[in-house]
Amino acid sequence: MDIGPFFTLTGFAKAEMVRGSNVCDECQKEPNENRQREWADPLVYGKAYGSDTSTTVLFQPYLGMQVDLPNGFKAVGLLSQRWRDGKVDIEGAIYERNIGVRHEEYGTLSIGAMTSRSWAVADFPYASDFGISDAWASSGAGYALLGHALRYTSRIMDVMDGDLVLEATYDTGPSGWDRNDPWMLEFWGKYTRGGLMIDASVQVSRNGQPVSWGHAPFFGLTTNPADDDILGGSSQGIFQLMARYYFTPKIEATAGVRFNRWSGAYAVPTTFGRGGLWNNMFNVDWGGTDANGVPNPGYPARTTDLMAGVRYLHGKWAFNTGMVYLGKASTDNPSERGQSNSALINTVGVDYNFGHGIRFYGLAGMVHYDRKGLAPLSMPSHNAFTNVDPRVATRGNWFGVGAVFTF
């Protein structure tokens, strides 16, 4: 929708209801605690679990700007935020708030808050059309929401009878950190030729919050820069390769692989006394020491994750199936922190295009964990994506319905 000569308003609203098996929202003894902390491991003894229904409502508008400048340049900008169930989706972060300059020959230079390609492209168009959006795009060692970024995107280049776009993004992270200065660098490339589309991205980061949540904002080691002097640094990164191919106008397939790397992060108390706080640690040997006698060391870890899907289009209908595999981790940590577990998630879905920007869909899926215990390291929480906690059950399934309105 155009708003005057310079602005456009687009966006989407989504409502979904899902009923799943082996759900236990209150089984963890310390609810909502970070899975990397050992006191988040225990479950409430004897707590009942079973089928449960959950609902999700998302709303995200995009306000875009484009103003013609002399010599073929254009001033561009984008402002966007997402709300989940009536609240800001991720506290302290915004999806898009950036301005830039674009030229057909020289490309685009943007500055401000923006989403990483590693998350945004994995989410859409790759995973969302195959029912695996959250499980694929929101897992692993990447970051999604960049608050202090500078991005250069090349013009579209003709390469081997196809189109190639290259991009580099650098995020300086929040201010106030001197000893553990945060930064994130991402390279992304897209190649399209006929029915083939290939996306590759590399993220390298230093001193962001250690996470296995690909939808995470890029903050400092903690939310408080006053912790700078008492913390050691950490790093993490990914290499992600995805492809999508139309065999016919009605049949398409997708596949992807992601290699994750974490340096690990020691567990360090940041305040003492009753109600004391801790840092954001990762893959810790709780109760152990490193070679220098420092307690609770964090160990490096690597994982490999996979995804695949097929979709069939028939008029206003679309039928899809998808798969995500979150692999076991390679690490020297002598304590079990989920590195010995893996997850296989399978989905099927049907989508009906009602018209006027409205789509209705149905979905079903199942998850199988390799073992009972802590979730795979690529998962941000033990019951992420499926509401099935492997400490409670190694299998679960779900079905649901939803609607999406785009404008």
Query: How confident is the model at residue 276, as a pLDDT?
Result: 84
DSSP for 35-92 reads TTSGGGS-B-TT---EEEEEEEEEEEEEEEEEEE-GGG-EEEEEEE--EETTEESSTT
d(Cα 21, Cα 30) in Å, to the nearest integer?
22
Residues 6+ apart with CB under 8 A from 212: 139, 140, 141, 260, 262, 282, 377, 378, 379, 380
Query: How confident is the model at residue 183, as a pLDDT?
Result: 99
Query: How confident is the model at residue 275, as a pLDDT?
Result: 77
Residues 6+ apart with CB under 8 A from 46: none
Q: Going from the N-terminus, what domains does the chain have, and what CATH number goes with each?
A: 2-406 (2.40.160.10)
Residues of the chain with pLDDT below 70 are none
Do strands 107-115 and 2-3 pair parallel, antiparallel, or not at all (unpaired)?
Answer: unpaired
Query: How confident is the model at residue 122, as a pLDDT?
Result: 99
| Per-residue pLDDT tens digits for 344-398 | 999 999 999 999 999 999 999 999 999 999 999 999 999 999 999 999 999 999 9
pTM for this prediction: 0.95
Phi, psi of 186 (to 5 degrees): -130, 135
Do residues 339 and 301 touch, judged by C-beta distance below 8 A?
yes
User: In the chain, what percentage of residues exceed pLDDT 90?
Assistant: 97
Tokens of 275: 């109600």
Handedness of CA 200, 307, 22, 302 (dihedral sign): negative
Q: DSSP 3-state assignment of 271?
A: coil
For the chain, the maximum distance between any two Cα atoms, rounded to a whole number of angstroms, is: 71
Q: How high is the mean pLDDT of the chain?
A: 98
The strand ranges marked E within 126-206 are 145-153, 157-159, 162-171, 183-193, 196-206
* 358 sits in which H/E element: strand 358-369
Query: How confident is the model at residue 273, as a pLDDT?
Result: 79
d(Cα 107, Cα 167) in Å, to the nearest integer?
10
Query: How confident is the model at residue 390, as a pLDDT?
Result: 98
Name the amino acid, one letter, at 320: N
